[in-house]
Amino acid sequence: MSLVLMLTISLVVAAGVFLTLSRDLFRMIVGLAVLASAANLIVFMSGRPASLIPPVVEAGTSELPVAAANPLPQALVLTAIVIGFALLCFALLLGAAITMQSGTDDVDQMRESEPEANDPFKPAVLED
């Protein structure tokens, strides 16, 4: 189980990095979302995911079985998923707004806030 998870995480990270390095705005956003899933899986992995014993104290006993799963990383990962989801929604809207205003989804064309210099020694003047 751990090995499967490890291989999955490395695959997901590879896919995420590949997409994030793209010049296409939306591929970048999807890439970051995929990387976020990898991070979530890493958190998930920290809580003995291979255990088949649920983290429940049986009636009549007062302690968890020794090899029971750890529920805390699952709570943590839920928080992280929710935050990541909100940020993904924001990023998609932001990407849509940028493409609509500039007419391109090439991130190399995003020079409005940092205009290219037309003088060899001095930067361009930023007009407000």
Partner 1 sequence: MLVLSPLLIPLGAAILTALLPRHRELRKGASLLGAIALLLCALILFARVAVDGRQSVALGDWPLPYAIELAADLLSAALVLITAILGTAVLLYEWRWNETTSAGPGLHPLLHTLLASTGAVFLAADLFNLYVWFELMLVSVLGLLVLGGARRNLEAAFKYFAMNMLGTLLLLSAVGMLYGAAGQLNFSALRQVAGQPELASALPVYVGLALLAFLLKASAFPLFAWLPASYHTLPTPVLALVGGLLTKVAAYVLLRLLADVFVLTPGILLDALGWLAMITMVVGVLGAAYHWDLRRILAFHVVSQIGYLLFGIALATPAGAAGTVYFMFHNILVKANLFLIAGLVWASAGHYDLRRVGGLYRARPLLALLFLVSAFSLAGVPPSTGFWGKFLLLREAFAQDHFLWGGVALAAGLLTLYSMSKIWLEGFWKAHPLGASAASAPVPGLAYAAVGGLSLLILGMGIFPEPFIRCAETATDLFWMMGAA
Looking at residues 33 to 62 of the shown chain, list those that interact with partner 1 (rule: CB under 8 A).
35-36, 38-40, 42-47
- Provide, rounded to whole angstroms, the least separation between the CB of residue 90 and partner 1: 6
Which phi and psi angles does 82 have, rounded to 5°? -60, -45
CA proximity to 26, closest of 112, 114, 106, 111: 106
DSSP 58-69: PTT--S--TTPP
- Provide, rounded to whole angstroms, the least separation between the CB of residue 19 and partner 1: 12
Place of tokens 């014993």: 53
Q: List residues binding partner 1 (CB under 8 A).
A: 20, 25, 28, 32, 35-36, 38-40, 42-47, 72-73, 76, 79-80, 83, 86-87, 90-91, 94-95, 97-98, 101-102, 107, 110, 112-114, 122-123, 125-126, 128
